[in-house]
Amino acid sequence: MSPPADAGTTQRLLPGRPVPEDLDAHLAGFGPRPILEPAAMIEALDQSGLRGRGGADFPTGVKWRAVTERSQGGGDAVVVANAAECEPASFKDRFLLTYRPHLVLDGLEHAAEAVGARRVIIYTTRSHNDIEAALRAAIRERRRRDDSDRFVEVLVGPNRYVAGEETALIARVSGHLAKPKVVPPRPFQSGVDGLPTLVQNVETLAHAALVARFGAAWFRSVGTQRSPGTALLTVSGAVRTPGVLEATCDTTVGAVVDRAGGVEGEPAAVLLGGYFGRWVSADRIWNHAIDADSLRSTGASLGTGVLVVAPTTSCGITETDRVLAYLAGQSAGQCGPCHVGLPAIAETFHKVATGRARPAALDLLARWSRDVRGRGACRHPDGAMLFLDSAMEVFAADLRRHLKQGECRYAAQPSLLPVPAIEAGWW
């Protein structure tokens, strides 16, 4: 089958018009879902070069094959579509599920067939009630049309930052609190109820559905050798038309901003990857492509597909201060470096930001950042410290001014970065 008109170089996942697709519209555009042998499906993913779009950037084919080999095709595997999207600055997954839910469900069907799953689940959070309703409606629609004889569960978890991490998600699906666990074992070894488990971000599943239809060569026809295909980006901050964009992986940061209507004012820095991502000065990142190799040269990564432009009329110190306080409050409370260390770091940074700390506080923050890295059940401290360290580098001059003079005149500006209320509980 030939790709539809809206499956071109920049609009593969998203429809040409922002109209939610029902099953009839989906079939009219894409045709019936092809049935592939498990080995052929996984080989196509390998050849396509598709990598996870949930933040880990792990080869999709390798991940699916690991679960298949562990389950040995015996039907005892579990597949979980991760639609939690607990990153506050991201809404690309919700956007995709709103407008093309059946493309995601196609990918989920392919995953279940490839790994021999007997249980298939879509995991979302309580804050995404509209998405939960849309998913349930799409699943009912497919069953009425007999497009699937596989029962797909929708499970809702807490709106906590680390509750979407794959081991936390597995814990919740297994009937426990949605808190991260120590690895190994990894999900493919022992996941939901001890069974081999594939956890895959919904955008990755949608890409997999396109690879199954149009082939690996088609997927590779755009992007770069290391980062083929397209990616969904949540673009916000000082841009004229914030929202979700789809871009080929060889598109530069500046070109992405241009597609979002251009920058408002003079750009000072860009946050890439979300709250576990990295601030990079605008002049350093603007002409870099969003592919993994190009971003790595700046110390950044695309992560969850978040791109926030901070103008010179915003305060990077105040933005960082708010997010660090939020991340400290999101600790699962299981490990000292996270439960004790992150609040202490956030409190000290707040004192620096408000001019209530001594100069030695900067050295203390740098030392504490090194001390908490790589310790604990999950990577929550690591992500938070990457965010902190990048702010201390990019906004170094501003940080020193805040330390001496207190909050600057831009500190009272409306926040660029959303900071949700912290939800109680982990169930």
Q: Mean pLDDT throughout 54-74? A: 89
Mean pLDDT of the region 269-285: 97
Of 354, 353, 327, the C-alpha closest to 341 is 327
Q: Where in the chain is the domain with CATH 1.20.1440.230?
A: 316-405
Comparing 66-75, 105-114, 194-203, 351-360, the range with the smallest average pLDDT is 66-75
Under a CB-based contact definition with an 8 Å cutoff, are residues 10 and 249 in contact?
no
pLDDT at 2 over 60: no
Give yes or no for a contact between 135 and 154, defined as CB atoms under 8 angstroms apart.
Answer: yes
User: pLDDT of 93-127, one tens digit each?
Assistant: 999 999 999 999 999 999 999 999 989 999 999 88
Checking if the pLDDT of 147 tops 60, the result is no
Query: What is the per-residue pLDDT across 342-397, written as a single tens digit (0 to 9) for each?
Result: 999 999 999 999 999 999 999 999 999 999 998 877 889 999 999 999 999 999 99
pLDDT (average), residues 240-247: 97
Give me the chain's average pLDDT, please: 93
Grade residue 66 by pLDDT with cuts at 50, 70 and 90.
Answer: very high
9 pLDDT above the threshold of 70:
no
Domain 23-220, CATH:
3.40.50.11540
| 316-405: CATH number | 1.20.1440.230
> CB neighbours (10 Å) of residue 421?
9
Architecture per CATH, domain 230-311, reads as Roll (3.10)
Query: Where exactly does CATH 3.40.50.11540 map onto the chain?
Result: 23-220
Structure pTM? 0.95
